[in-house]
Structures are given as structure tokens and as C-alpha cells.
Chain A
Amino acid sequence: MIKIKKDVVVIGGGPAGLAAAAKVYDNGIKDVMLLERDFELGGILPQCIHNGFGLHHFGEELTGPEYSQRFENKVEERDIEVKLDTMVLDVTADKKVFAMNKDQGAMEIQAKAVILAMGCRERTAGAIGIPGTRPAGVLTAGTAQRFTNIEGYVPGKKVVILGSGDIGLIMARRMRLEGADVKAVCEILPYTGGLTRNVVQCLEDYDIPLMLNHTVTKIIGNDRLEAVEITEVDENMKPIPETSEIVEADTLLLSVGLIPENELSKKADVVLDDRTGGPIVNEGRETNIDGIFACGNVLHVHDLVDWVTEESEIAGEWTAKYVKGDYKRSEQKMNVKAGENVAYVIPQSIELDAEDRKRIPLYMRVDKPLQAVDIILYADGEKLYSFSEPFAKPGEMISVPLAQKTLDDLDEVSEIRVDIIEKEEE
């Protein structure tokens, strides 16, 4: 087995890994290796051919491949060692990375710091347990996206989509434009999990019905899917049998959620958060293991790649500091807690000393959608300050700045909490 020593190893060459690697390099640590199992860089972006990326980060609207290409170029312009077709098999808590590819066989890379950027995978039919057969034609929306946009094969003619996540919405339009009859998008919840712009531009533009409070209760067909049974659900999400309707379809796309890909993280003894499915991190995106960082969809599922970039640059910056020995975890750790109507907050703790920072962005998602909200921050139960927003939706991540000045004025605080609640009448 080849043995290699590196300052920083980045696992995963999607937008998270690319941005983190470039940032580490720009912060003075040049001995960086990026490992990607696919034959090209970009992660999921090369198959996301639609526009809508980059509005925050570049101030212009790009497609997935264009967004990706900008970061691939960034990595290529720097002297970063990229290994493609290279699968990482194991990572240890003392930062040994075991990887394999065809040309070099097995390798052991001893790193000073590791950045986890493996992205996420899609939930499948098995994971949600729809009764009925498992014929061909039932596939995840992401798999259909790969077939249609990369491999050049449109997987069906009569399509029903289960789940109104963004990938499902995007694929509804894509398959409609490729000539398929997209019959409906069914969503079991009373609201969509996707971005508003996708509901407007993918469904409303093409008169594709969005059936809220509906789910697929049966899959029908032997070799190939023939039909699905769609049923309305009550407020407890229980199907109401008399509302069932059989809809002819040769394809059922599942867009029922993404799960951070943390098999490797677990091997390195990284502790995961039940709510995000990703590692628990401090504000530098460092996990419980010193020198192991995480960013992008492996940490929590993002709706906009722009946020992935922002977060990965934070991780890259702190990774470089770590390798240089520029920081220590402080004695005094503040936990960041998701309060009322908040599903989770990233980072889960604040514990790094930083002199020159003005604010710490807190990323969060709400549990339930609300119109006119107050976002309120508390320190050990005492109100710090609040913001008002016109609405909060689970599908759209919220970024709230925690001002360093406020932090400096506090001492001995052990918990910051965020509530997102209905605005009080004035």
C-alpha cells in the first residue's frame, strides 16, 4: 500500500469540497489533496442543468454545470492535487484516510486535517414503505435527473412525482419539456418542501397540478409500473380511503428527502446530530474530533448551493488555521440551541477564539411555515435581540447573524437559543 503524507485531505469533489480546498490553499496551506470517486469534479451539479444557482454568491443566475465549472477552475488554477475515480473507504479519528483507485491501488494518507464533503443521498421507496410491487419505473428524482441530463435517456412517458422537494419539482418540468405527460406532484404535507420559485416556474408555468395533503398509497404493475393509487390524507397524515384514485403511470419519481452521507464520518468516531443527520460542529465547522471538519450536504441538507459555498469557505478557513496551530477550542463553550419552531441550527456550538470576526452566521430551518415572524435570540434565556421577516418556510434556509460585539459583551453564557415565532401584533 502506498503511504502518503498531506497537510489537508478533502473527501468529495462537489461544490463543498471544491470551495473548501481552494480556501485552505488561499489561507496559506498549499499541501492539499482532493479525493473524488466520480470521473469528474462537481458532485451533483453537472446533472443540475437548470438555472437558479449563484444569485447570492455571484449576483448572477447560473446553471449547475456553470456554477460548478467556476469552482473547478479555481481548484485547477491552484496547485491542488486532485485524484479522480478515487474512492475513500475509511477515515480514522487520528486522520488516516484510506482510499483506492485503479492506477495506484490502495493508499493510506496521513493528514493533519480532514474535510468531510461527501454530500448526501436520496431517500428511496424502501425508506418510506409504500405498499405494492416494486416494478421498473419507480426511481428517485435524482436518478431520473442523471438519466435524462447526463446519460441521455428519458425514463418514462406518463409520470407521477411523489414529494415536492426541489429535485422533484425540477424534474417535473424537465420531463414535461422532454415530452412526458406529468400528471401530478403529490405532497403529503399541507405545504411544499421546495423553493417558491420552483413551484412557480416548474409547476404553475406548465399547469402541472400540485396535490397537497395527498400521497401515493399503492404501486401497481408487475414488470413495469402501470399505475399508482393516489389518496388524500387527513390532518394526521392518515390516508382517507374513499378519496383514492388510480392514476395510470409508467414512472413514479420519488423526491422524498435527502440524507447526509455519513458512513465515513461514523468510522472516524464523529458524533452526528439526530436532527440534521450530519456531524455536530462548532462555528469553524469542526466536528467533535480535533482537525476533522465537515461542510456542504454532508453536514446538513442545503437548498441553495450558494450557502454550501459560504459554509465550505468557513470550513476551509478554519482548517487552514488548525494546521497552522492558530487556534484552540476555548474553555468556555456555548451551545447553540434550536428553540421554538426551529428544526435545527448550525453550528451547534461556539467555542473558537477569533479576534477579527464581526459576526457568526447561524443557519437554521423552521419546523412549520409561518407568515410574519420574529426571529429571537436568547443568551441563557435572556433576550438579546430580534429580527422580523415576512415569512419562514421549512424549504428555505434562514441565515441569522450573531454579532461578535454582542458575544463580547456576554460572559459565562452557556447557551444561545433561537426561536422563530409568529410576530406579535403591534
Chain B
Amino acid sequence: MLEKKTITCVACPKGCEITVEHDGDEIIDIMGNACPQGADYAKEEIIAKTRILPTTVRVKNGALPLCPVKTTKQIPLELMDQAMNKIGKKEVEAPLKVGQVIIKNLLDTGADVVATRDLPAN
């Protein structure tokens, strides 16, 4: 069935309103994007939404009880709850370095979970 959807592009702060005509996963037309990046973004938003997941992981013997982490690349939106579950079960030992891998290949997405700050030991 032919559908029309308006998407706000968030690939840059300009925030173009992009209209996509699609039939399921088949893209018919993309309008309103000021640059090609917007077309890619709109396509992805229709076919499979993906996002970076920023969250925290519990830390043993750290200067703080938590360390912020993120996925190294975008993962499918529908996996967020599962990913939170997995990261929530993890506990790591301080000290930590920014970029340090906490979980490799999270849920087979190909994305690693890495620390986003240095965290000294207590």
C-alpha cells in the first residue's frame, strides 16, 4: 500500500521536514531534504530505525558508582530494551579509560559498548 510519511531529519540541526512516499520497504519518492544525507536518513527511518544507545554501567571500586557508556555504532531501535537489560547485568572494575570496551559485539549487532569517560579507582 502506498503511504506518505513526514519525517524530521535529525542528521544535522537544520531539521528539514522530509516527506517520504513508500510502499512498505520500497521507497517511491523523497522530498524536502536540503541535502543527500537527509535522503539516507529518511530511508533508514522508514526501513529500520537505528540509534546510538547511551547509558551507564555499574562500577566496582570506582570514584563514582557508575560509568557512562555508549554503543560504538547505531543499533536497531527495537533492541533497546534487550540491550539495556544486558548492560544492566554487567559490572566492571575501576579504573576505566574513555573508549575502553565494556561489552564486545552487543547482541550480535556488531556494536561494542565502550566507556565514555575516564573513571579512576576509589
Q: Which A residues are within 8 Å of any B CB, using their own CB?
A: 46, 49-51, 55-56, 61, 63-66, 68-69, 148-152, 177-179, 195-197, 199-201, 205, 304, 390-391, 396
Contacts and interface: CB of A to CB of B under 8 A. Distances in A.
A177 B14 CA distance: 27
Contacts of A396: 13, 15
18 contacts: A49-B54, A49-B56, A49-B70, A49-B116, A55-B12, A61-B52, A63-B54, A65-B117, A66-B117, A69-B118, A148-B56, A152-B58, A152-B65, A179-B84, A196-B15, A197-B8, A200-B10, A205-B51
A179 B117 CA distance: 24
The list of the 6 closest CB pairs from A to B, nearest first, reads A197-B10, A49-B68, A65-B117, A152-B65, A196-B15, A63-B116
B116 to A, nearest CB: 5
B68 A65 contact: yes
Contacts of B47: none
Interface string B45-72: 0000101111110100000111010100
A66 B98 CA distance: 8
A196 B98 contact: no
Q: Is the interface of B mostly helix, strand, loop or mixed?
A: loop
Nearest to A61: B52
Given A65-B117, A151-B65, A304 B13 contact: yes
B28 interface: no
A112 to B, nearest CB: 33
Given A66-B116, A68-B117, 15 more contacts: A49-B68, A51-B52, A64-B68, A65-B117, A66-B98, A66-B117, A148-B56, A149-B66, A150-B64, A150-B66, A151-B65, A151-B66, A152-B56, A179-B84, A195-B13
A70 to B, nearest CB: 9
A61 B77 CA distance: 18
Contacts, number: 75
A390 B14 contact: yes
Contacts of B66: 149-152
Interface in B63-98: 64-66, 68, 70, 77, 80-81, 84, 98
Nearest to B64: A150
B27 interface: no
Contacts of B14: 390
Contacts of A66: 98, 116-117
Contacts of B116: 49, 63, 65-66
B30 interface: no
Given A46-B117, A55-B13, A205 B56 contact: no
Contacts of A200: 8, 10
Given A65-B116, A152-B66, A51 B13 contact: no
Nearest to B45: A200
A164 to B, nearest CB: 15
